[in-house]
Amino acid sequence: MTPISMARGVLAAIIFTTLALIGNSASAERVNIVAFHSDKCLQPEGIPADGVRVVQATCTGADNQVWEANTFNGRMSFTINDNKGGPNLFLLDGRNLTNSDPSQRIAVLGKQAIEYLPQEWNPLAKGKINGRDAYFFSVDVAISNSGTNASGCLDLEQGNLADGAVVLLKDCSAGYNQYQEFALVPAAPLKFPSNEPIACSVFDDGYSSPVGPSGAIFISGRKVNQEQGKACVPGGQYGQCRKWFGRCFTKQSGKPVYFKVFNDGLSSPTGLFDAIYVSKSGGKACIPDGTVAGTCRKWFGEGQTEDGRHVTCKVFDDGTSNAAGPSRAIYIPAPIPGGGTACIPDGTGRGACRRWFGQCTTD
């Protein structure tokens, strides 16, 4: 078995001190990037995606103006979510710095990359302006086939004050240049919606051939096409089935969700994982542990989001009818009926059983 692991207010808000934000250890903060000359916030020009331009706009506190500033050894990256209900992140990217056309040297969003110079920004402290810490943000970009790097800074050309003004990449000024000066302003605390819905996918070993996400899954008992024990989401006559289910996330805030497996009375619990499979005979839910069989227990559940919220799920029949729950524990009986059955505790020996499980939400 392949192992599978798992708005801010007004600008009068308190600004980060240098020691709090620009350090030598890893840290992350939710911030607005504010241009000093215009008091406006940087944001994607449209829905976050690779290559979308970065512009300034009046600060509103909207999600598309909130960046996660990650700092390590004095360098920073700025990440933003696509707000589509999934864990798809994009970073402030300076890759256009070496474009032969100066008008196209524009800051854009880029897909996450490991040790990728154009996404690593050097915050150059410029002292305080009107009581706020001011920074130039410089970036290095490799020049093709030369073995050297070019350096440049975020810039709003000619001090454009308009909403929609494009953020450029220009030579860093040796002296004072207010159009290259930015403040990092703490964003409003993240507010998670109550009862946030959760969706999961099904997939084969190595997260291959994924289908979903979906808010409903059943475990097939059909012995045709090697479906027995597979996790299925709606689609076609018999569903779309794969070995594993997992890779769950909250649909509004995009936070990953993990589950445990355990025995009666929550005994022998495992750690949290983002992938579970059910044995073909039923009665066991298993997580990867590097062995062929994995670590198996009777129940799965005790779900938890990446940020610590607890998760409950329901069981129900076709069309979400006859729902029971919510519950923090589910088991698949042995043998598995052909159409699938999932059960939650109800004080009886068998529990409340329905065809599907899902409709999971945060507490």
Looking at residue 92, which CATH number applies to its domain? 2.80.10.50
Same domain, yes or no: 207 and 340:
yes
- pLDDT recorded at residue 228: 94
d(CA 186, CA 261): 39
- Residues 62 and 221: their CA atoms lie apart, in Å, by 47
Q: In DSSP terms, which residues pair with 158 in a beta bridge?
A: none
Evaluate whether 302 touches 260 at the Cβ level (below 8 Å). yes
> In this structure, are 208 and 174 located in the same domain?
no
Instruction: Say what the pLDDT of residue 9 is.
Output: 26
Distance CA(152)–CA(104), nearest Å, equals: 14
Residue with tokens 């960046």: 67
- Residue 153 lies inside a defined structural domain of this protein: yes
Q: Is residue 192 a part of any domain in this protein?
A: no
- Using the 8-state DSSP alphabet, how is residue 13 labeled? S
> Residue 170, Cα to own-chain centre: how many angstroms?
31
Are 238 and 317 contained in the same domain? yes
Domain of residue 336 covers: 198-362
Shared-domain flag, residues 157 and 223: no
Q: For residues 106 and 212, state if they share a domain.
A: no
Q: Which amino acid is at 95?
A: R
Asked if 179 and 106 sit in the same domain, the reply is yes
Structure tokens at 175: 């002296």
Residue 23 lies in a domain: yes
Cβ of 324: how many Cβ atoms within 10 Å? 17
Q: What residue type is 18 in one-letter code?
A: T
How far is residue 313's CA from residue 357's CA, in Å, rounded to a whole number?
Answer: 7
- Specify whether 324 is located in the same domain as 209: yes
Residue 65: DSSP 8-state: G
Determine the Cα–Cα distance for residues 72 and 93; give it in Å rounded to an integer.
17
- Residue after which a domain boundary falls, among 186, 221, 239: 186
Cβ–Cβ < 8 Å for 185, 8: yes
Q: How many domains does the chain have?
A: 2
Last-in-domain residue among 134, 161, 186: 186
125 contacts 1 by C-beta, under 8 angstroms: no
Rounded Cα distance between 313 and 324, Å, is: 9
Residue 262 placed within a domain: yes
122 in a domain, yes or no? yes
Task: Check: CB of residue 208 under 8 Å from CB of residue 349.
Answer: no
Q: What are phi and psi of 39, to 5 degrees?
A: 55, 35
Q: What's the pLDDT at 61?
A: 83
- 68 and 141 in a single domain? The answer is yes
Beta bridge mates, 89 = 81
Q: Do both 35 and 182 map to the same domain? A: yes
For residue 324, list its beta bridge partners: 315
How distant, in Å, are the alpha carbons of 220, 340, 347 from that of 282? 10, 10, 21
Residues 322 and 316 sit within 8 Å (Cβ to Cβ): yes
Shared-domain flag, residues 286 and 243: yes
Please report the pLDDT score of residue 2 as a whole number.
Answer: 33
Last residue of a domain, one of 139, 165, 186: 186
pTM: 0.58
Q: Are 321 and 354 in contact (CB under 8 A)?
A: no
Residue 7 forms part of a structural domain: no
Task: For residues 137 and 69, give the distance between their C-alpha atoms in angstroms, rounded to a whole number.
Answer: 12
**Residue 193: inside a domain:** no
Residue 88 confidence (pLDDT) = 60
User: Within this chain, do residues 203 and 161 fall inside the same structural domain, yes or no?
Assistant: no
Q: Is residue 162 one of the residues assigned to a domain?
A: yes
Same domain, 303 and 208: yes
**Mean per-residue pLDDT pooled into runs of 10, the chain (363 residues):** 29 29 52 92 90 94 87 84 58 90 90 77 78 82 78 87 94 78 84 87 95 96 91 92 96 90 96 96 94 95 92 97 97 94 93 97 93
